[in-house]
Chains A and B, each alone.
Chain A
Amino acid sequence: MNWQRWLMIAPALLFFLVFALVPMLVAVYYSGLQWNGISAPTWVGLFNWRHAFANGEAVHAIWLTVELMVLCWIIQTPLSLLLGVFLAGKQKHRAIFGVFYFVPLLFSAVAIGVTWSYLLNPNFGLIDALLKAAHIGSGNQNWIGNPSIALLVVSLIIGWQFIPFHTLLYQSGAKQIPDSLYEAAKIDGASPLNSFFSITLPQLKYTIITSSVLILTGSLTYFDLIYVLTGGGPGNATQVLAMDMYKEAFVNQNIGVGSVLAVVLAVSGVVLSILTLRFTGFSRMESQLEGM
C-alpha cells in the first residue's frame, strides 16, 4: 500500500519542493555570494551575514517587523472577533452590513495603498479636511510622513484591508457553535455578556489560533501596501524586513545581503507558526464539544 501513498502526495510534494524548498536552499547558497545579479558572483562565505547584522539596518528592520506583527494582531483580532460574532447572528439586516464590511477584501493592496495615500495627504487629503471641518486638531496632521506614527498608521490600514477576511473566519466559526449551548446558558440565567465570554470565546479558540497564525505570518512578510504607501519612509521608519530585503537585493543590487534577510524571514516564519501551533494545543485538535 505504500506506493499509493507516495503517489497521492507526489503532486503536492513536487510543488512544495519546486516552489518552497529548492528556492529556500538556493537563497541560503546566494547568501554566501558577493553578487550584483549580473556580473560573475564570488563566494564570500559568512561575510554577508556579518555585514547585514553589523550595520544595524537589519536589526532595525527586524524590530520594526516585530512591532508591526504585534500592532496588526492587537488591531485585527478583537475587531474581527466582534464583527464576526455580530455577523453570525440570525437577524436579517446583518447580511447587509456584511456586504459593506467585506468591500475592502475586493481591492488589491496597491489600489488600497494609492487610495489611502491620497486620503491621508496632509495638504489635499480628505481625512485632514474632515478633521479640520470638525475642528479636531490643526487639520494638517502628517499621517504617513511622521516617523513616530507612520508604522501605526500603516498597521491601521493593513487592518482595514484584512479585518474583513478574519471577520469571515470568525463568522463561520461562530455559526458552528450549537444553539443548545446558548439555550442552556439562558435557562441558567446567563446574560448575553456572560454567554459571550463563557461560550462564544472558548468555542472560537481554534478559529482565534488560525486567524492569529495568519495575521502573524502575514504581517511578517507584508510588503506591497507599505511599498506603495510609504516606500519604507520617512527615513527608514517603515522599512520592515521584507522591504529591507527588496531594497538590498534589487535596489542596492546586493543579492547576497538580500538573501540573508530572505533566509531570516523564511526561518522566522516557520518557527513562528510551529511555536503558535505547539503552545496553543492546536495540533492536538481536542474536541470542543465533549459531552454534546
Chain B
Amino acid sequence: MNTLKKALVAGGCLVVTASVLAGCGNSNGASGSGNNTGSTGQTGSSKASLTLWDIQTGTQQQVIKDMVNRFNQSQSSITVNAQFFENDPFKQKLQIAMGAHNPPDIWTGWGGGVLKSYVDAGDVYDLTSALNADPSWKNRFLPSVMKPVTFNGKIYGVPNDNVQPVFFFYNKQLFKQYNVTPPTTWAQLLSDVQLFKSKGVTPISLGGKDKWPDLMYEEYLVDRIGGPQVFDNVLAGKANAWSDPAFIKANTMIQQLAQAGAFEPGFSSVSSNQGEDAALIYTNKAAMWLMGAWGFGNVLSNDKAFIAQGNLGFFPFPSVAGGTGNPQDIAGNPSNYYSISTASKNPQAAVTFLKDAVLNDQNVQDWINIGDVPPVQGIDTKLKNATYSDYMTFTYDLVKNAPNFQASWDQALSPAAAQELLTDLSKLFLNQMTPQQLSADMNTYIGK
C-alpha cells in the first residue's frame, strides 16, 4: 500500500517535471518550420549557416518559408534557418539577444527609433556599400519606403514584406445614393460630413476605443499643414516642439471635425481591434473610414460580397488649403525590414540572401498572390492582373508617388511619450482637452 502511494507520488512528480520542462522548451523554441529546425551555430562544414528571425504568421509566414526554401535549394554554400516568433515577445527576445552579443544573423524590424538605437550601439551591419555596388538591387525598392532604415545617409535594412499606407475607405453605395464624390480637400470633406449627417448616415467611422486610430488624423493633418519637419523637430528633441502652430491648427481641425458630428455616436467605445469600425462600413451605416491598408482585409474577411459588388472605394487623405506639406505625402506602416547584425559570422552570406532571395521576382509574385503590395519598382502590370487589382494598384500608386512616407508616430516616440499622446488625443477627440493643453502636456515629454 505504502509503496504504491510512493510510486504514485513519484510518478506525479515526474509528470509535473516533464510538463514544466516541455513548457520551457516551447517558450524557448521558435514555432519551428519543419525541415529548418537544425542547429543554428557553426556545423563544422564549410557551409555558412544563417539564422533569420521573423514575426510573420499565417499565409505571410508561408511566403517567407517558401522564399527561404527556394534560396536554400539554389545555394550550395549557404543555409538559412528561419524562426518565427510572436510580435511582442520578439521585441524583447531581440533586445536580450543583442545585449548578450548573441543575435540572429538577420532579423526583421520596423526601422525608425528602435533600429536607430541598435545602430547607435553598433549592432547593425551597414548595407550602404553593398547596395551602392549593385544598383539593380538598390533601385528595386520604392524610395519613400527606405526612409525608416536610412540614418545619416547610411542604409541599415531592406524591405521584406508589404506596404500599409493609411487612406480613406468609402462606401460607394452610400456615395452614389446621395450623389457625393470623394473629397479632395478638407473643406469638401467637411461639407460631405454635413451632407451625410443630414441624411442620418454616420459620415466617418472611427475606432476610438483603441486610441491608435485617432493618431492617423493627427499624423496626416500635421503633415498637410506643416510638412514632415514639424514632427521631426519633436524627434530631434527641440524644446517646445509640440507648440508648433501646425500641431495647434491640426488639433483644432480635429475638434471641429468631431464637433461637426463626423464620427459615429459613441466612437470612443468602438473598437478597431475587434473590427467594429469596419462593420459600420460594410453594414452601410457609415460612409467613410480612415484606416491602414489592412482595413481592406478586415472587410474582405467579414463581408466578401461587399467587395465583390464593388462597394468599397478608396481616396487619399484630402489636402488642406494653405498647408505647406505636400498633399501626396502619406502616413502608415511603410514595411518590415531585414537587417544584419554586426555580430554575424557570415555577413557576406547574409547580404547574398537579402539580395537574391528577399523580394526577388518569385517572392514579389508570392506577396501579390496573397493580396499584399510589396514596395518594389515596376510591378504595375503584375498588380493590374491580380485579384482586387483596383485596391492593390491604388495602394501601390499612393506609395510610389509619395515624396514622404511617415511611419506611425507611436513607433518613433518613446513608449511613455507615445502612450501619453494616445491618451491626450483620445481626450482631444472628446473635447476634454484643448489643443493648447495637449501641446503643453506633450512638451514635457520631449527628449524622454
On A, residues with C-beta under 8 Å from B are 38-39, 55, 117, 120-124, 138, 140-147, 230-236, 239, 247, 251-254
Nearest-Cβ distance from residue B132 to partner chain A, whole angstroms: 34
Residue pair A124, B265 in contact (C-beta under 8 Å): no
List the A side residues contacting B279 at CB < 8 Å.
123-124
Given the known inter-chain contacts A38-B99, A140-B266, A252-B419, please indicate yes or no for A233 contacting B209, CB distance below 8 A. Answer: yes
In the bound complex, what is the Cα–Cα distance between A121 and B205 (angstroms)?
14
Let me know if B267 and A145 touch, CB within 8 A.
yes
Task: Assess A145 versus B266: contact at CB under 8 Å? Given A235-B427, A236-B423.
Answer: yes
B432→A147 contact, CB < 8 A = yes
With a cutoff of 8 Å between Cβ atoms, the chain A residues found around residue B270 in the complex are 121-123, 145
Complex CA–CA separation, A232 to B280 (angstroms):
24
Q: Is the CB of B271 within 8 A of A247?
A: no
Show the binding face of B for A, using Cβ within 8 Å.
Answer: 92, 95-96, 99, 202, 208-211, 264-271, 274, 276, 279-280, 285, 415-416, 419, 423-424, 426-427, 430, 432-433, 444
A122–B264 touching, CB < 8 Å: yes
Query: Is there an interface contact between B209 and A251, defined as CB atoms closer than 8 Å?
Result: no
Q: A233-B211, A234-B208 are in contact. Are A254 and B269 (CB under 8 A)?
A: no
Q: Nearest-CB distance from A116 to chain B (Å)? A: 11
A230 to B430, CA, bound (A): 15
B267, B268, B280, B433, most chain A CB atoms within 10 A:
B268
Residues of B close to A121: CB separation below 8 A? 266, 269-270, 276
**Are A231 and B269 in contact (CB-based, < 8 A)?**
no
Q: Is B209 within 8 A of A231, CB to CB?
A: yes
B95 touches A38 (CB 8 A): yes
Q: Which residue of B lies closest to A56 (CB)?
A: B441
Q: Which residues of B contact A123 (CB under 8 A)?
A: 202, 264-266, 270, 276, 279-280, 285
**Which chain B residues lie closer than 8 Å to A141 at the CB level?**
266
| Contact B268 A142, beta carbon cutoff 8 Å | yes
Find A235's partner among B99, B202, B285, B423 (CB 8 Å cutoff).
B423
Given contacts A145-B270, A147-B268, 8 further A-B contacts (CB under 8 A): A122-B269, A122-B270, A123-B264, A123-B265, A123-B280, A138-B265, A142-B265, A252-B415
Chain B residues with CB under 8 A of A239? 423
Evaluate contact between B269 and A120: CB separation under 8 angstroms. Answer: yes
Contact assessment for B96 and A117 in the assembled complex, using a CB-CB cutoff below 8 Å: no
Q: Are B269 and A247 in contact (CB under 8 A)?
A: no
Q: Are A144 and B95 in contact (CB under 8 A)?
A: no
Q: Which residues of B contact A142 (CB under 8 A)?
A: 265-266, 268-269
Distance, CA A38 to CA B265, complexed state (A) = 42
Contacts of A39 in B (CB 8 A): 99
| Contact, CB under 8 Å: A233 / B426 | yes
Contact between chains at B419 and A234 (CB < 8 Å) = no
User: Cα distance A138–B200 when bound, in Å?
Assistant: 13
Known: A145-B270, A147-B432. A140 touches B265 (CB 8 A): yes
Determine the chain B residues whose CB is within 8 A of the CB of A234 once the complex forms. 208-209, 268-269, 426-427, 430
24 pairs, A vs B, C-beta closer than 8 Å? A38-B96, A120-B269, A121-B270, A123-B264, A123-B270, A123-B276, A124-B276, A140-B265, A141-B266, A146-B266, A146-B268, A146-B269, A233-B211, A233-B268, A233-B426, A234-B209, A234-B430, A235-B424, A235-B433, A247-B419, A251-B419, A253-B415, A253-B416, A254-B416
In the bound complex, CA of A251 to CA of B210 (Å)? 14
CA distance A59 to B423 in the complex (A): 16
User: Given contacts A38-B92, A123-B285, is CB(A145)–CB(B276) below 8 Å?
Assistant: no
Point out the residues of chain B lying under 8 angstroms from A253, CB to CB. 415-416
Q: 5 shortest A-B CB distances, which residue pairs?
A: A122-B266, A145-B269, A142-B266, A145-B268, A235-B427
How far in angstroms is the closest Cβ of chain B from A228?
10
Min CB distance B237 to A, Å, is 18
In the assembled complex, which residues on chain A have CB atoms less than 8 Å from the CB atom of B210?
A: 231
For the complex, give the distance between the alpha carbons of A230 and B99 in Å.
36
Residues of A near B95 (CB, < 8 A) are 38
Using Cβ atoms and an 8 Å threshold, which residues of chain B touch A144? 269
Residues from chain B with a CB closer than 8 A to the CB of A143 are 266, 269
B202, B271, B415: which has the most chain A beta carbons within 10 Å? B415
Task: List, in ascending order, chain B residues with CB within 8 A of A55's CB.
Answer: 444
Contact B419 A117 (CB under 8 A): no
Q: What residues of chain B lie closer than 8 Å to A145, measured between beta carbons?
A: 208-209, 266-270
Q: Which residues of A contact B276 (CB under 8 A)?
A: 121, 123-124
Q: Which residue of chain A has its CB nearest to the CB of B91?
A: A38
Complex: A235 Cα to B164 Cα, angstroms: 27
A66–B430 Cα gap in the complex (Å)?
A: 24
Contacts of A230 in B (CB 8 A): 209, 269
Chain B: minimal CB distance from A25 (Å): 26
Minimum CB distance partner of B273 in chain A: A231
A39 to B430, CA, bound (A): 37
What residues of chain B lie closer than 8 Å to A251, measured between beta carbons? 415, 419
Find chain A residues with CB under 8 A from B266 CB. Answer: 121-123, 140-143, 145-146
- CB nearest neighbor in A for B431: A147
With a CB–CB cut-off of 8 A, which chain B residues contact A140? Answer: 265-266
Bound CA span A143–B423, Å = 19
Shortest CB distance A114–B (Å): 8
Q: List the A side residues contacting B416 at CB < 8 Å.
A: 252-254
**In chain A, what residue has the closest Cβ to B427?**
A235
Return B220 CB to nearest CB of chain A, in Å.
21
Q: Enumerate chain A residues within 8 angstroms of B427, measured Cβ to Cβ.
A: 147, 234-236
Residue among A123, A142, A233, A251 facing the most chain B CB atoms (10 A cut-off): A123
Residue of B nearest to A40 (CB): B99
In the assembled complex, the CB of A155 is this many whole angstroms from the nearest CB of chain B, namely: 16
Task: Tell me the bound Cα distance from A234 to B430 in angstroms.
Answer: 8
How many Å lie between the Cα of A253 and that of B269 in the bound state? Answer: 26
State the CA gap A231–B202 with chains docked (Å): 25
In the assembly, what is the distance between CA of A147 and CA of B268, in Å?
9
A252: chain B residues within 8 A (beta carbon): 415-416, 419
Cα-based distance from A235 to B431 in the complex (angstroms): 10
Q: In the complex, which of the residues B209, B265, B269, B444 has the most CB atoms of chain A within 10 Å of its own CB atom? A: B269
A232→B95 CA distance, assembly (Å): 28
Give the Cβ gap from A268 to chain B, nearest Cβ, in Å: 24
Closest to B269 in A: A145
Q: Provide the bound-state CA to CA distance between A124 and B278, in Å.
A: 12
A39 to chain B, nearest CB (A): 7
Output the least CB separation between A57 and chain B (Å).
9
Tell me the smallest distance from the CB of B153 to a CB of chain A, in Å: 28
